[in-house]
A and B are shown apart, each in its own frame.
Chain A
Amino acid sequence: MRVRKAKKEAEISKNDPRVKFLANKIKKENYSPGSLIEILHTAQNAFGYLPLNVLQYITKALKLPPARVFSTVTFYHFFSLKSKGEHTCLVCTGTACYVKGAQAIVNELEKQFGLHSGQVTPDNKLGVAVARCIGACGIAPAVVLDDEVLAKVEPQELTQKIKSKLAAS
């Protein structure tokens, strides 16, 4: 046996409404280890990403090995360990959108906000990501701005829209 350093317990605020929501979900799933993905989904949607203390909380509640939870989180692209930003801008770069000028949108975002795909501004206000195809080829080039699907996007219009969103928040 080796001497272990005292571990700091996961700091998680029980009064946080997001934590309460998550705790409810875990209870509803009957603390079943098989519902891990469901619960991770809930946590990802509530927090916008999966902070380590939330993962520790879930691990304890479901009595799962930590490595198993981390393995699941890193396997699926839906889960993120880093914050994706308060506002997210997802640019579709599938074939149809690419032909219709998705690259110009990506370039404009990079020029205006200095963000590559997967990056977030230092103040955590805006995150940019690209997807291969969001299945909306008829309205190419498509962009998803905070769960709102925008059709036939012009690069300048998009950056204007983002700027007004950032200013409003």
Chain B
Amino acid sequence: MSMTKLTLQIDGRSIETESGRTILEVCKENDITILTMCHLKGITDVGACRLCLVEIEGVSKLMSACTTKVADKMIIRTSTEKIKRYQRITTELFAAERNHVCSVCIANGHCELQKLAYDVKMDHIRYPYLFPQCEVDTSHPLYVLDHNRCIVCTRCVRVCAEVEGAYNWDVMNRGTNVRIISDFNTPWGESITCSDCGKCVEACPTGALWPKAVVQGQLNKAPEFISDLIEKRKMKL
């Protein structure tokens, strides 16, 4: 693909870049903060979390920065009042959908969702908590899947399919009944596709996937490990 130089404006700053890149990539390079949740560098972006929404002049709706490619003379705004309001709404909906109880969560203090809530200054939630009945799958010898903490960002699904190549995970049902499943909704420990690599655990932004050998609050995940791994796999040594 031929790269053509183009100039665009982000938050009033004039930026020169190349075609074929996403708005998110360009923003990151130029130290413009964009909140993300389902994005993980190296794996396919799906625009599922709606946190990276940006305003583009001439486009009536907000566009997700991770799936929108830059174009010449684009005028982008990333931190207007409208966007901040939407980010706050999205975060509140994340918190209200499942049973996110930070104080007893294994990921307390190391959770991307918790960090996001601080970032958008979420002090209360305006929506009724759904308190769904969620299962905890402890059938795997090494790891645990806790649906209570899952935000269905599908990072685990994509990492498993694209990086490990096992395709153990996918998403079943629709709407509030959505659940991450392994194989035919079989317990994780009985999966015939899982290779026990733990990449999904590393990629998970919350306390939904965690290794058994960790006590509460001691979890420390490294999703950038996945991004580094993808880079290293491209190297031909």
Q: Are B170 and A68 in contact (CB under 8 A)?
A: yes
Chain B residues within an 8 Å CB radius of A75:
172-174
Q: Are A71 and B172 in contact (CB under 8 A)?
A: yes
Question: Within the assembled complex, what's the spacing in Å between the Cα atoms of A138 and B171?
Answer: 39
Which single residue of chain A is at the shortest CB-CB distance from B169?
A67
Is A168 part of the binding interface, using a Cβ–Cβ cutoff of 8 Å? Answer: no
Chain A residues within an 8 Å CB radius of B170:
65, 67-68, 70-71
Question: Within the assembled complex, what's the spacing in Å between the Cα atoms of A50 and B183?
Answer: 15
Rounded to whole Å, the gap between the CB of B154 and the closest CB of chain A is: 11
Assuming the contacts A55-B184, A70-B170, A70-B183, asked whether A65 and B196 have C-beta atoms less than 8 A apart, the reply is: no
Q: Which of B100-142 contact A (CB under 8 A)?
A: 141-142
Which single residue of chain A is at the shortest CB-CB distance from B142?
A2
Is B216 part of the binding interface, using a Cβ–Cβ cutoff of 8 Å? Answer: no
Rounded to whole Å, the gap between the CB of A62 and the closest CB of chain B is: 13
Question: Within the assembled complex, what's the spacing in Å between the Cα atoms of A7 and B181?
Answer: 19
Q: Are B181 and A71 in contact (CB under 8 A)?
A: yes
Is A74 part of the binding interface, using a Cβ–Cβ cutoff of 8 Å? Answer: yes
Chain A residues within an 8 Å CB radius of B215:
none
Q: Are B173 and A66 in contact (CB under 8 A)?
A: no
Chain B residues within an 8 Å CB radius of A5:
190
Is B161 part of the binding interface, using a Cβ–Cβ cutoff of 8 Å? Answer: yes
Q: Are A66 and B184 in contact (CB under 8 A)?
A: yes
1/0 per position for A63-86, CB-CB distance to B under 8 A?
001111111001100000000000
Is A167 part of the binding interface, using a Cβ–Cβ cutoff of 8 Å? Answer: no
Which single residue of chain B is at the shortest CB-CB distance from A74?
B172
Q: Which of B167-206 contact A (CB under 8 A)?
A: 167-174, 181-185, 190, 192-193, 196
Which single residue of chain B is at the shortest CB-CB distance from A1?
B196
Interface residues on B, range: 20 to 34
Assuming the contacts A74-B173, A75-B173, asked whether A67 and B182 have C-beta atoms less than 8 A apart, the reply is: yes
Q: Which of A23-62 contact B (CB under 8 A)?
A: 52, 55-56
Rounded to whole Å, the gap between the CB of B158 and the closest CB of chain A is: 12
Chain B residues within an 8 Å CB radius of A70:
170, 172, 181, 183-185
Question: Within the assembled complex, what's the spacing in Å between the Cα atoms of A137 and B111?
Answer: 52
Which single residue of chain A is at the shortest CB-CB distance from B141?
A2
Secondary structure type dominating chain B contacts: loop
Which single residue of chain A is at the shortest CB-CB distance from B174?
A75
Rounded to whole Å, the gap between the CB of A92 and the closest CB of chain B is: 22
A2 CB contact (under 8 Å) in B172, B184, B185, B196: B196
Question: Within the assembled complex, what's the spacing in Å between the Cα atoms of A72 and B181?
Answer: 12
Q: Are B193 and A65 in contact (CB under 8 A)?
A: yes
Q: Are A7 and B184 in contact (CB under 8 A)?
A: no
Which single residue of chain B is at the shortest CB-CB distance from A4?
B192
Assuming the contacts A2-B141, A74-B173, asked whether A66 and B192 have C-beta atoms less than 8 A apart, the reply is: yes
Question: Within the assembled complex, what's the spacing in Å between the Cα atoms of A150 and B181?
Answer: 40
Which single residue of chain A is at the shortest CB-CB distance from B186?
A66
Question: Within the assembled complex, what's the spacing in Å between the Cα atoms of A56 and B186?
Answer: 12
Question: Within the assembled complex, what's the spacing in Å between the Cα atoms of A71 and B174?
Answer: 10
Question: Within the assembled complex, what's the spacing in Å between the Cα atoms of A7 and B192?
Answer: 8
Q: Which of B23-64 contact A (CB under 8 A)?
A: none
Of listed B141, B167, B184, residue having the most chain A CB within 10 A: B184
Rounded to whole Å, the gap between the CB of A107 and the closest CB of chain B is: 27
Rounded to whole Å, the gap between the CB of A11 and the closest CB of chain B is: 15
Chain B residues within an 8 Å CB radius of A66:
183-184, 192-193
Of listed B142, B181, B185, B193, residue having the most chain A CB within 10 A: B185
Chain A residues within an 8 Å CB radius of B161:
65
The 4 closest A-B pairs by CB, nearest first: A65-B167, A67-B170, A71-B170, A74-B172
